[in-house]
Amino acid sequence: MNEVASISRTSHVNIVSLLGFCFERSKRALVYEFMPHGSLDRFIYDRGLHHRSCRLEKESSISMACARGTIGYIAPEVFCRNFGGVSYKSDVYSYGMMVLEMVGGRKNIDVGVSQTSEVYFPSWIYKHIDQIMNLNLNGVILEEEEEEEITRKLIIVSLWC
């Protein structure tokens, strides 16, 4: 309930407003303002990265009993108190993970990966950065030098997060 209250107080031109919620027995729903162009994940996963045709694996559903937030975006300090307290930096971490998803063309949680070392998305990006900088991103060729530079900057900023 605290998360819903926090989200409902958020007001920013680039963030969709939470209008209401339902929390009745097993029925739970969040009601957001209408998004005429759909959500970001529709643009990343349903059609590929904007002008790129990324082929993505089937979406997996993961649930955690006591987790707060969305898996894959949760900062380590949120679920492991040994890393420090929760702060605005948790949001910075989540933003970085979202940008990595946009650049990497895959969800930051991929339970279907062949090796467990590929599960942690920032490590996967870091290991594959040479391929990305060699104009190859998940089999998609970056056509312009400017796109390569933008991709490089996005990766650097998101890894800083």
pLDDT reported for residue 37: 79
Which tops the pLDDT comparison, 144 or 17? 17
The number of distinct structural domains making up the chain is 2
The 10s digit of each residue's pLDDT in 104-120 is 766 655 545 555 545 56
Do 23 and 98 fall within a single domain?
no
Which tops the pLDDT comparison, 126 or 25? 25
- Tokens 């929760």 -> residue: 86
| pTM, to two decimals | 0.53
Do 103 and 132 fall within a single domain?
yes
The 10s digit of each residue's pLDDT in 29-64 is 878 888 887 777 666 655 433 334 333 343 333 333
The 10s digit of each residue's pLDDT in 65-105 is 334 456 666 776 666 666 666 677 777 888 888 888 777 76
pLDDT reported for residue 19: 83
Produce one character per residue of 22-50: b if its CB has 16 or more CB atoms within 10 Å, e if not. Answer: eeeeeeeeeeeeeeeeeeeeeebbeebbe
Do 119 and 45 fall within a single domain?
yes
Do 44 and 18 fall within a single domain?
no
Do 30 and 68 fall within a single domain?
no
Q: Could you tell me the residue range of the domain that residue 10 belongs to?
A: 1-34
Do 92 and 13 fall within a single domain?
no
